[in-house]
Each structure stands twice: as C-alpha cells, then as structure tokens.
Amino acid sequence: MAQKILLIEDDENSRFGIVRSLSQKGYAVSVASNPADAKGNVMARLFDAVILGINRADGKGAGFIELVRLYHPYLPIIVVTGSNEIEIAVAAVRCGADNVLAKPIDHAALCASLEDMLKDCSPEYPQGVGTRPKTMGLENFFGTGTAQGKFFDLAAEAAAGNTPVLITGETGTGKGLLARWIHQSSNRSTHPFKGVNCSGLRGDLLNAEIFGAAGTTCAPLNKPGLLKSVGDGTLFLDEIGDMDLTVQAGLLEVLQAGGPLPPGNRKLNDIGFRLICTSNKELAALAGTGSFLPELLSRISGTVLRIPPLRERLTEFPSMVRHLLDRRGTQELISDEAIRVLERYPWPGNLRELKNALEQGLIISQGARLYPEHFNWLRPPFHASQKQPLVSMSVQEQHISEMTQLASSAAAKLAKRHGYPRTIEYSGLTLTRGRNC
C-alpha cells in the first residue's frame, strides 16, 4: 500500500512540482491550500507524513506544527519556505518540524529526506526472529560506556521477551526512539506499532482513542480503538503519567482480565499486544499522592529502563552530535570549537533540543560548516541568583522612611528661611539643621 503524504501549499507552481516528484516515487499525495483545511485529517491520523509550505504573510505554520505535535509527536513534518526567511525556518524547527527545505525545492533532496523519516517510523526491522537484538545505532544516541552496555543488555532482554516495559527519563531523552527499537527488535516487528501521547489527549478523547468510540460523541461509532487495531503488535502509551484516573482504571481492567474490551461488547478476548509505556514523571510519587493507580504501576513495570539526561552523558556528546549530523549527510560540517560550545550548554530538552539546535545552526549557516557563531542564540535557561538581597525593612517601614526624608527636607528649608534654631521639633521628629542654615 502506498504511503500517504499530505502536502499543504498555496503556491500552485511549487505544489505541482512536489506532487509530481512524490507521485513518481510511488507516494499517494493529498493536497490542501492551507493548514485550516487539513487540520481535521491530520488529527485523525490519515497520513504518514506532512509537507508544509510556510511564508511570512501566512504566519500560521508554527501554530499548526505545535498542534500536530500535541496530538501526534512522531508524525514526520517537512517545512518548505523561502530561502531568505531564516526566522520562519528557525521557528518551525523550534515548534517541532523535522526538516526545513528552502525554495526553489530540490525534489531529490525532498524525496530522500521523506524516505529517511518514513523509514525511521516504519515498524519493519531487517532481523530474524529469535536472534539477539542488535543495538547498532542506539549507541550513537545513548553512549558506549560500561553503564550504557548494561543498559543495552537490559533493553535487549526486554525486546526478546513479552513483559510490559516502562521507559523513564526527562523530556527529549529518546524514550520514544527506544520504544520503537524494542518493537523493531522483537518477534512482533512485522505487526503494527500503535501509540498515543497521553499528554495530548485527555478524558473521553483518550478513552476513545485507546478503547474505541463505544458510543461516545467524541469520535465516530465505527472508529476502532488502539486495543483493537494493534492486534499482535505493540501498544505504545507515551507519557502515561498524564493519563486520567478513569482511563487508568479501564486499562487496568484490560490487563487484569486478560484481554481488550471492544466498544459495546464486554466479552473479553486474549491479550495479543505488547505494552510499552514511557513517563517523564516519577510514577511512584504520583501513586503516593493518588494521581496514579499503584496496581497499574505494578502491571506496566515488568522491565523498567531509565534513560539518563544528556547532561549526564557528556563523554559521548561529540559522537552523538556527529551521528545526528551524519543522518543529514553533514557529519563533517561542524568544527571542534562548535562542539565545545555545545557541550557547555545544559540541554534541558535533551536529545530533542540538540537535534533542533543543529537544525537551526545549519539554517543559519545556510549549509556551510558550523562554527561557534552559528550558535550565539543558544542561551542557558535563566535561573534566579541564589544570593538574597539584604532587606531590613518591610514595605510599610520603607514608606515611613521615604516620608520621613521628605519631611526632613521640607523642615530644613523652612528653618533656613526663617532662621529657626539648628534643632527643631517637626511633627514629633527631631530635625537638625545643616551647618549652613
């Protein structure tokens, strides 16, 4: 089946060229003239990738990307824009675009970029069933030290088994990447990999997405839930710590009973799927406050993998940078000085932020070699100084002090004008005249 691509472009000439080149590659291309016309179809996940044209006059592209990322964190998004609109390109990458191409479009580069992104999202994995999963490629993201070696061994064991996996770590550390690798390395690699971001959908919407519409008003009655459509594949629940308690209870019921609950039918079927969850929150702490069901936590924690933040993996940092650039065919386009500048940044957004920063650097350098000046915009997050100012007076006391100074000044002028003694009483205050009064 041909992969479905949504092209959002208001320029007819550009649109015609892109449709022709993608169609020649075997893609099924649908066209929309603006994001508003395409929003519903993208939210319904009817496409495998989006190509979005942005211009300065439109100004709505960044908001559309943020909306898509809220509901579909892993949908490939390629932005095409004018070669002189660097600010728009940088903003698009910051909002979540995977790549930015300048007009006039190099159609070969567009097709190559699209092919790479769709390959990363594909559940297919060229590895025989029953063999020990290889970690080649993951080392470039997670390092090669002793601790990382143990991490890979545990991940490989998880991929070879069928128990639920919980992947923890800060936002942007690569939890989704690892989840896909586990699926692709398992004996389920030829089956679907279905996922949902629990932060983007809440309440009835999330319930309908997982269990099906089941007669609700938030989705069509014939819309199957992920539990039904995933079959014998992998069900991926991203950021499960944001899942509502009611949805948690439904999921726990499924895991306890041994099968998914089809919409409108309480008959239980055998569970065929593999469950992988991620969280950037401490689920044990949430369970302690009543925000997460303790028994559900126990059910999803068959294997727990913690991905350390990027700031704890600085020894592997240069290889990670070069690997990310190598995926774009630009491994040699960064200087050692630029890498040292990047190493000093704390990277609160981890690998995701690093990838976006490299994209922005290449946009600013316009494809030339990256040097420190191409990352001048990268500033550490602001933290208030730990030193507290010396405050010895309350607000009321400060007001009294200011009024006293005003009164003293007025009294001194009055005394000088009328020749009063050096020290006088003024409103209960003792004021001393200056020497020249």
Mean pLDDT of the chain: 75
Q: Higher model confidence: residue 73 or residue 82?
A: 82
What's the confidence (pLDDT) of residue 261? 42
Q: According to the model, what pLDDT value does residue 300 have?
A: 94
pLDDT band at 43 (very low <50, low <70, confident <90, very high): low
Given a cut of 50, whether residue 432 has pLDDT beyond it is: no
**Is the previous residue joined to 104 through a cis bond, with omega within 30 degrees of 0?**
yes
Task: For the chain, list the domains and their CATH numbers.
Answer: 4-121 (3.40.50.2300), 145-306 (3.40.50.300), 314-375 (1.10.8.60), 395-432 (no CATH)
**Residue 234 pLDDT:** 92
How do residues 133-161 score in pLDDT, each as one tens digit?
Answer: 444 455 555 655 555 667 778 888 888 88
Reported confidence tier of residue 168, pLDDT bands at 50, 70, 90: very high
Checking if the pLDDT of 49 tops 60, the result is yes
340 vs 396 pLDDT, higher one: 340
Label residue 380 by pLDDT band (50, 70, 90).
low
* Banded pLDDT at 424 (limits 50, 70, 90): very low
The pLDDT-based confidence of 280 (bands split at 50, 70, 90) is very high
Lowest mean pLDDT among 126-130, 141-145, 273-277, 433-437: 126-130
Is residue 71 predicted with pLDDT exceeding 80? no
Q: How confident is the model at residue 431 (pLDDT cuts 50, 70, 90)?
A: very low
- For residue 160, how far is the Cα from the chain centroid? 28
Q: Residue 268: is its pLDDT beyond 80?
A: no
pLDDT > 90: percent of the chain: 16
| b/e 83-95 (16+ beta carbons within 10 angstroms → b) | eebbebbbbbbbb
pLDDT of the residue at 199: 84
Does the pLDDT at position 219 exceed 60?
A: no
Residue 391's pLDDT is what? 39
pLDDT tens column, 331-352: 558 888 999 999 888 888 888 8
- Average of pLDDT values for 278-285? 93
Percent over 70 (pLDDT), the chain: 68
Question: 82 pLDDT exceeds 60?
Answer: yes
pLDDT band at 405 (very low <50, low <70, confident <90, very high): low
- pLDDT (average), residues 354-378: 85
Nearest to 240 by CA among 205, 272, 196, 189: 196
Q: What is the mean pLDDT of residues 230-256?
A: 91
Give residue 201's pLDDT. 77
Residue 387: pLDDT band (50, 70, 90) is: very low
